[in-house]
């Protein structure tokens, strides 16, 4: 039994054909799918992912000749031979472009001879006239810069919420409403997302927030997805984030429809719902008129089967929608998470009634003014306490011996968060300002105690 458990664990962390993975080179990420004999272009370089099948996630590969990947063996004493002599300072070094003896053509010739990135860096160090005059820190910085340029290494990572959030914030932040990964972590914490809860999620961040909530819940609980328009957006994490079967089934059965079941979703094969244009059967009907009746019967039968299959899918869709509506009727959700490019005020006021009292909610917006309006509305109508409008601030630090300092480049902003806790509202009182309600409540309590 122990061996079977180890085999299952190893299978989860082993790269298989068809898996969605994340490629990493330096600080750059890219999503890809493992398919044999398919070229992948990453950082102006193409390679094949065939040799990655069977390796563990987190393995670093070197791109060899022909675009093949070879697992890179770890080297503990890298570049120890290069740094032998060092100067005291860099005041006499002039960057005039003539310190390197190797030309661009010479470097291309070395690449054509099959030299690897480490060997090319060694040649650049040996042919630099100013390398030995640089300080030890400057030498390490020079080697690091040349390695990043000439070493063709790629790391294959297992997709997760953090990795995908970093990838899309760095490559296409507009798709996720400029939601930074630290702001996403704050949202999950403020909303108290954990296993066994019933969460309501309204987001237009291409499924990033929805996938993060599902991953945090671990397949235990319910997620009700609310979406604008005729159907939910195609979630980025639907095929990339590795969730267990239990988590996928729970969310699909109880969510407000899935990406594939949306009324406005486009089928993978557009000709599978309409006529039979372009199919071999349609061509055979034109070229073989000898058996038109049999062909017509087969075509009618296929149409009937497809119509029946469509009816079954629509019935399943209605069943999922009714299940989600049943969950909302209880008005006992454990939390509310909103992250949308739409104005959050009407969405927040409309969905708060489905959240049980003493439950947290959090709203993300790229700008501060819409959240200020939400804050004012909630203060006026009541039903929420502990309101807090915050902005997350993130800055990376370089941590190295004798040169620890903040990184010069940093993110300008990660958006704003409005969080709070729901409370039971007095239904007998008309909706009015908080100033007129509080004295009447105090008088009622005084009369009851008397």
Tokens of 383: 């039903």
pLDDT of residue 384: 92
405 neighbors 397 (Cβ within 8 angstroms):
yes
Q: What is the pTM of this model?
A: 0.71
Handedness of CA 424, 426, 431, 432 (dihedral sign): negative
Tell me the C-alpha distance between 47 and 64, whole Å.
9
Tell me the C-alpha distance between 56 and 351, whole Å.
43
Handedness of CA 408, 414, 416, 417 (dihedral sign): negative
Please give the DSSP secondary-structure letter assigned to residue 266. P
Tell me the C-alpha distance between 216 and 288, whole Å.
59
pLDDT of residue 427: 57
pLDDT of residue 351: 92
Q: Report CA-CA distances (Å) from 223 to 33, 244, 331, 360.
A: 27, 15, 14, 15
Alpha helices (H) along 233-291 = 245-254, 280-287
pLDDT of residue 422: 94
Please give the DSSP secondary-structure letter assigned to residue 38. -
Tokens of 97: 């472009």
The mean pLDDT values, 10 residues at a time, for the chain of 450 residues are: 56 85 88 87 84 87 81 60 63 75 78 74 80 80 80 87 90 90 94 93 90 91 84 57 46 38 32 34 44 78 84 84 80 92 93 93 94 94 92 88 86 90 71 46 55
């Amino acid at each position: 039994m122990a061996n079977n458990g180890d085999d299952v664990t190893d299978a989860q962390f082993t790269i298989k054909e068809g898996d969605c993975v994340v490629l990493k080179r330096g600080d750059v990420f890219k999503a890809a799918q493992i398919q044999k004999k398919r070229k992948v272009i990453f950082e102006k370089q193409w390679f094949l992912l065939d040799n990655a099948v069977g390796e563990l996630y987190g393995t670093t590969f070197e791109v060899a000749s022909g675009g093949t990947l070879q697992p890179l063996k770890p080297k503990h004493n890298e570049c120890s031979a290069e740094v032998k002599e060092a100067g005291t300072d860099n005041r006499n070094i002039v960057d005039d472009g003539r310190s390197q003896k190797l030309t661009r053509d010479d470097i291309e010739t070395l690449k054509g001879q099959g030299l690897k990135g480490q060997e090319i860096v060694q040649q650049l160090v040996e042919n630099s006239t100013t390398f030995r005059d640089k300080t030890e820190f400057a030498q390490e910085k020079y080697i690091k810069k040349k390695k990043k340029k000439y070493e063709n290494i790629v790391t294959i990572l297992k997709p997760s919420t953090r990795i995908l959030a970093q990838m899309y914030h760095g490559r296409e932040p507009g798709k996720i409403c400029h939601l930074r990964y630290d702001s996403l972590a704050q949202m999950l914490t403020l909303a108290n997302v954990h296993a066994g809860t019933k969460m309501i999620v309204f987001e237009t961040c291409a499924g990033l927030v929805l996938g993060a909530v599902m991953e945090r819940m671990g397949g235990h609980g319910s997620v009700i997805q609310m979406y604008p328009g005729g159907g939910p957006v195609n979630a980025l994490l639907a095929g990339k984030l590795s969730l267990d079967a239990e988590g996928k089934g729970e969310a699909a059965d109880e969510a407000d429809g899935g990406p594939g079941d949306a009324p406005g979703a486009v089928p993978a094969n557009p000709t599978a719902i309409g006529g039979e244009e372009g199919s071999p059967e349609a061509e055979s009907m034109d070229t073989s008129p000898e058996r038109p009746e049999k062909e017509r019967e087969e075509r009618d039968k296929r149409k009937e089967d497809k119509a029946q299959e469509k009816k079954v899918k629509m019935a399943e869709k209605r069943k999922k929608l009714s299940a989600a509506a049943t969950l909302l009727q209880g008005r006992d959700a454990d939390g509310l998470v909103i992250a949308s490019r739409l104005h959050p005020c009407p969405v927040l006021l409309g969905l708060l009634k489905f959240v049980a009292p003493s439950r947290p909610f959090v709203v993300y917006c790229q700008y501060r003014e819409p959240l200020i309006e939400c804050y004012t509305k909630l203060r006026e109508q009541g039903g929420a306490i502990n309101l807090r409008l915050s902005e997350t601030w993130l800055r990376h630090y370089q941590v190295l011996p004798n040169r620890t300092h903040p990184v010069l480049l940093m993110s300008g902003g990660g958006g704003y968060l409005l969080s709070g806790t729901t409370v039971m509202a007095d239904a007998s009182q008309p909706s009015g300002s908080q100033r007129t309600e509080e004295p009447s409540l105090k008088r009622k309590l005084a009369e009851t105690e008397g």
